[in-house]
Amino acid sequence: MKPTGLVLLAAAALAVAPVAAHADDAALTPLQVPAKTLPVPTADISPGMQKFIAAPLNPDWNDLWKTGEETRAYADKQAAGVMKNVPGLLERMHVTSTPGTMGGVKVYTLTPATIPPENADKVLIHVHGGCYVLFPGEAGTPEGIMMAGFGHYKVISVDYRMPPEAYFPAAVDDAVDVYKEVLKTTPAKNVAFFGTSAGGALAIEMVLRAREKGLPVPGAIAPGTPMSDVTKTGDSFYTNEKVDNILVSRDGFCDAATVVYAKGHDLKDPLLSPVYGDMHGFPPAILTTGTRDLLLSNTVRVHRNLRRAGVAAELEVFEGQSHAQYQFDDRLPETKEAFGEIAMFFGEHLGH
């Protein structure tokens, strides 16, 4: 019978009282979705990115670490692999990396070969991703190197303490200590925070924590696919489960690692799930995600909450990409595009 369907179709173009009335009676019944086959999308996607999208599910997605010692053992082994690629990346990006400390926190200062005059008085603070437990030391710097290289900004990458050395709120506190030190020489309006995944969450958490400590908010932030909700809330935890080939599932390694970092602390605390933070008064923000990203929902929820709070916030969503794939290879056009968008956004908003 057509009339039933009519109502739904009609709904697509207007406010339909009968639909609303009908909906009022409906329970919130879950949707059953059949098994499906997803071809690798190719339209408007570079061949290199197509191959990342075509990669099989991360075979370690269900490694559920339980202690800081376990996460650190994995992190150290992984970091050794990452470090093999850092020299080549620094060379391609024409960036130099200098280790040091700021406010008692270990950092890497990433300096591009050329800094245009309008960027000379700006400082970007980078907080790396890795579920709050991965990428210790210089292994945490690649995203910062790309930002410095593509954006031609000076970047300070925070080597925040991680389990088992330290637990919540060490990461955000270390990052805010670095910010406090930066503020001694650079006005807040000339500083931006950025990072991806846990780093995306940290970029938001830093604003919340800075405010708690009476510090000014920075001039802009760029949270990339932020782990903004670690309470397993967000529709794409379900819709993109086993579609995202990096994180794979809400029940995978990354949430388990965050539980290790949280060490019993309430996961709904805005310093762990910043989507629950009050975003009024936040600085301009640019968010980045992909249509297959397990954290698509938790990126758009932050975007919408920022907009609802009246904040200038932009959203970039890449076709077909899973979690954080926009920063997997500096040689792909999508990577240059993603960092280019962020750099342009910082150019528009910093200093004002």
Query: Considering only residues 148-177, where is the footprint of a copy of itself by CB under 8 A?
Result: none
- Residue 18 within binding range of a copy of itself, rule CB under 8 A: yes
d(CA 329, CA 49): 9
Please give the C-alpha separations between residue 71 and each of 77, 139, 163, 232, 325, in angstroms, as whole numbers.
10, 15, 7, 21, 22
Mask 269-308, x = binds a copy of itself (CB under 8 A)?
------x---------------xx---xx--xx-xxx-xx
> How far is the CA of 211 from the CAs of 36, 179, 216, 278, in angstroms?
46, 12, 6, 11
With binding defined as CB under 8 A, does residue 228 bind a copy of itself?
A: no
| Binding residue for a copy of itself, selected from 197, 205, 218, 339, defined by CB under 8 A | 197
* Alpha carbon distance 108, 302 (integer Å): 28
Q: Which amino acid does the sequence have at 173?
A: D
Asked if residue 268 binds a copy of itself (CB under 8 A), the reply is: no
Alpha helices in 133-291 (DSSP H): 142-151, 170-182, 198-212, 236-239, 253-262
Under the binding rule (CB under 8 A), the answer on residue 91 touching a copy of itself is no
Nearer to a copy of itself, 27 or 117 (CB): 27
Q: Which of 210, 316, 343, 350 binds a copy of itself (CB under 8 A)?
A: 316
Judged by beta carbon, residue 119 or residue 305, the one nearer a copy of itself is 305
**What values do phi and psi take at 99, rounded to 5?**
-75, 155
Residue 41 touches a copy of itself, criterion: CB under 8 A = yes
DSSP 168-203: TTHHHHHHHHHHHHHTTTS-GGGEEEEEETHHHHHH
Instruction: Report the residue number, 210 or 302, with the smaller CB distance to a copy of itself.
Output: 302
11 contributes a contact to a copy of itself by CB under 8 A: yes
Q: Which helix (H) or strand (E) is 337 found in, with range?
A: helix 333-349
The DSSP element (H or E) to which 74 belongs, if any, is helix 68-83
- Asked if residue 234 binds a copy of itself (CB under 8 A), the reply is yes
The CA-atom distances, in angstroms, between 219 and each of 152, 193, 222, 315 are: 17, 9, 11, 17
Please state the closest distance from residue 202 (CB atom) to a copy of itself, in A: 13
**Residue among 216, 238, 267, 309 that touches a copy of itself (CB under 8 A):** 238
The answer to whether 77 contacts a copy of itself (rule: CB under 8 A) is yes
**Size of interface with a copy of itself, in residues (CB under 8 A):** 121
Only one of the segments 117-125, 185-193, 200-208, 238-246 lies at the binding site for a copy of itself (rule: CB under 8 A); that segment is 238-246
Q: Does 87 bind a copy of itself (CB under 8 A)?
A: no
Distance (Å) of CA 300 to CA 131, 206, 256: 19, 19, 23
Amino acid identity, position 12: A
CB-wise, 40 or 113, nearer to a copy of itself?
Answer: 40
Q: Does residue 52 belong to the site contacting a copy of itself (CB under 8 A)?
A: yes
> Does 20 help bind a copy of itself (rule: CB under 8 A)?
yes
Minimum CB–partner distance for residue 179 and a copy of itself (Å)? 21
Element (H, E) at 105: strand 105-112
Please report how close the Cβ of residue 170 comes to a copy of itself at its closest, in angstroms: 19
